[in-house]
Chain A
Amino acid sequence: MKVRLRNPDRELDLAGGRRVREVLIELGIDPDTVLVIRDGELLTREERVSDDDRLEIRPVISGGAA
């Protein structure tokens, strides 16, 4: 699964087959501080993601990073 992080822009390869919440825990990201986007749609923490997905994790804090 390709995961694009912003501020600064970078891309990671992470395992799919789990919930968004678990991906964010692995990255140490507070779910209230980011939008998680897949194919132009927002995902909640409970949504499942797969190895084929491409995610964008976009910070919402002004001055913040993800």
Chain B
Amino acid sequence: MKCRRCRRPAVVEVRRHNAAFCRPCFLHHVREQVRRAIARHDLIRPEDRVLVAVSGGKDSLALWDLLLELGYEADGLYLGLGIGEYSARSGEVARAFARSRGVTLVEVDLAREYGFDVPTAGRRGSRSTCAVCGLSKRYVFNRAALEGGYDVIATGHNLDDEAATLLGNTLRWQTEYMARQSPLLPSEPGFVKKVKPLYRVSELETAAYAFLRGIDYVVEECPLVAGNTQLRYKQAMNQLEQASPGTKAQFLLGYLERAAALFAAEDRSELRPCERCGQPTPGRFCAFCRARAQVLGERLEPVTDRELAHESSEEVLPAEVYGPAAVGGRPS
């Protein structure tokens, strides 16, 4: 198999492009995909300070590496979730990457800062473990970015993540979530701009990129993630992709180009400061403060019917399952 660009022996095949690449040409191909994504949606300006949400997995570390390679000022943010050896190893690889590149890694420990860890929240709270994990990530990333004066939060959601999320939202016609499924969520009062520069890059490509760049990442999966809904959507999409390469990209990129605008009117939540922490929320207390109070056994005022409806649909939001998810307490 020969490289499409230079005809040297290929090391990675990208079937949706009907192409294969040698190492240098593949790295160039991925950088071009990310450069194009940033330019097309004006994701990051050259002068922006970027905070990359880093889990220690292939996507977030590849993203951090790519943004640094493209010349952006990008710090990392690692959130300690308290998931035993898995979290310990994730923190180690994030720190090792930061040291190797001479860049800053901001660390927040959920238990130390907020009094609970993810396994405990999964046992004690009413939300699933993945839901409370995603909620905590969105909350902490946004708060850390605000407090650190960052212009942009960048997350490692890739083409497969986004296509699977879109499939899940479409199957349930969750139009409010569909309205906010975009590589760019602009800044709003209380919310830092959030971007997904890998949305054109498949999971195979981010893994191959990380490997070929010599990035040590956590291959093991979170021990709490088994059997999640998002994985089933990914498997369904992969079956379609195997029969018809390019299906995933057509589904997601076609939605963004031709259908997303049709759902824009569905994003109509009005926000005000949470009475506990000040973060924006549709109700009196944000979802994070409500979940935290429940886990810690504290009392908060009853929530409204609207908040309850919002919360029940959050439980099945696939984007919450993986890596750093959407900002704050709003659906992605």
| B 17-60 binary contact with A (CB < 8 Å = 1; else 0) | 00010000000000000000000000000000000000001110
Cross-interface CB contact of B230 among A30, A33, A42, A63, cutoff 8 Å: A63
The smallest beta-carbon distance between A15 and chain B, in angstroms, is: 22
Cβ-defined contact, B11 with A63, below 8 A? no
Nearest neighbor of B227 in chain A, beta-carbon distance: A63
Cβ-defined contact, B242 with A42, below 8 A? no
Q: How far is the CA of A64 from the CA of B59 in the complex (A)?
A: 14
Cross-interface CB contact of B207 among A30, A35, A41, A65, cutoff 8 Å: A35
Kindly list chain B residues whose C-beta atoms are within 8 Å of the C-beta of A43.
11
Kindly list chain A residues whose C-beta atoms are within 8 Å of the C-beta of B230.
63
Cβ-defined contact, A61 with B12, below 8 A? no
Q: How many residues of B contact A (CB 8 A)?
A: 38
- Give the interface residue-count category, chain A: 20 to 34
Cross-interface CB contact of B161 among A30, A33, A62, A64, cutoff 8 Å: A62
Cross-interface CB contact of A33 among B211, B238, B245, cutoff 8 Å: B238
With A35-B211, A63-B228 known as contacts, the answer to whether A42 contacts B219 (CB < 8 A) is no
Listed in ascending order, the chain B residues whose CB lies under 8 Å from chain A are 1, 10-13, 15, 20, 57-59, 160-161, 202-204, 206-208, 211-212, 219-222, 225-226, 228, 230-231, 234-235, 238, 241-242, 245, 321-323
